[in-house]
Amino acid sequence: MTLLRVEGLSAVHGLLPAVRGVSFEITEGETLALVGANGAGKTTLLRVIAGVHPVAGGRIEFDGTEITALPAHRRVADGIALVPEGRRLFPGMTVEENLRVGATSGRPGAWSLDRMREAFPQLARIWQSKASHLSGGEQQATAIGRALMANPRLLLLDEVSLGLSPKAVDGVYDSLQHLKAARTTTILVEQDLNRSLAFADRIICLLEGRIVAQGIAADMSRDQVMDHYFGAHRRAAHGVPA
């Protein structure tokens, strides 16, 4: 069943186009990774789907209903949750308090404080620590947990491993396996291409705001995706050396 359908979506930053005529679908229970070089439009695309960046053109459908003009808080209530780049926790609140905030505007469902302790054991040890005192990995786990407390049908994860140590990234991805097991529909932006290929069911590669490649993750090699990252296929089509 198609949960999200994006048709001809466009968005701008000031006068600069950031997303250009993007169309794709994601089925319920699927994990989709958006990959591409810096400035490819990945974060803007996530923010548009979440309703926190304006649409310049195109259409968004969620569970068969058009939501293109729906404000962000209504999308959260309908089941779309965003983990933003930079985490954006409430620094003076504890881990528990940040998680409780996530539950206030969401839907009833299986994600609870008890389940959060199980899925993110690194948080159970720091439950009453303030967010400002956490490591980067602990902050990222808290930010993901806060979004899950809204019991989303679609989780949007922006820059999962940005600024984290390899050990912290391992811990976050270990916890994300609970999402896979629960078949939580997920779109993630991830700079670590190896992580994307290993974790996602499907890959979409963006270049300058456009989709230049997509496919089943298991059928795509790192070299193939990297060629699209930097426009090698487009240069070859115009007879320009790579």
Domain presence at residue 85: yes
Domain presence at residue 208: yes
Q: Is 105 exposed, middle or buried (0-12, 13-18, 19+ CB in 10 A)?
A: middle
Domain presence at residue 198: yes
Residue 86 DSSP label: T
How many angstroms separate the CA atoms of 188 and 31, rounded? 8
Query: Mind giving me the DSSP string for 6-19?
Result: EEEEEEEETTEEEE
- Residues 10-57 pLDDT 10s: 999 888 899 999 999 999 999 999 999 888 999 999 999 999 999 999
Domain presence at residue 22: yes
Domain presence at residue 162: yes
What is the number of structural domains in the chain? 1
- Give pTM, 2 decimals: 0.88
| Cα end-to-end distance, the chain, whole Å | 40
- Residues 179-197 pLDDT 10s: 888 889 999 998 888 889 9
Which residue range is the domain that position 70 belongs to? 2-237
- The CATH number given to whatever domain includes residue 71 is 3.40.50.300
Domain presence at residue 242: no
Domain presence at residue 185: yes
Count, in order, helices (H) and strands (E) of the chain: 10, 10
Quick check: 242 pLDDT over 60?
Answer: no
Domain presence at residue 50: yes
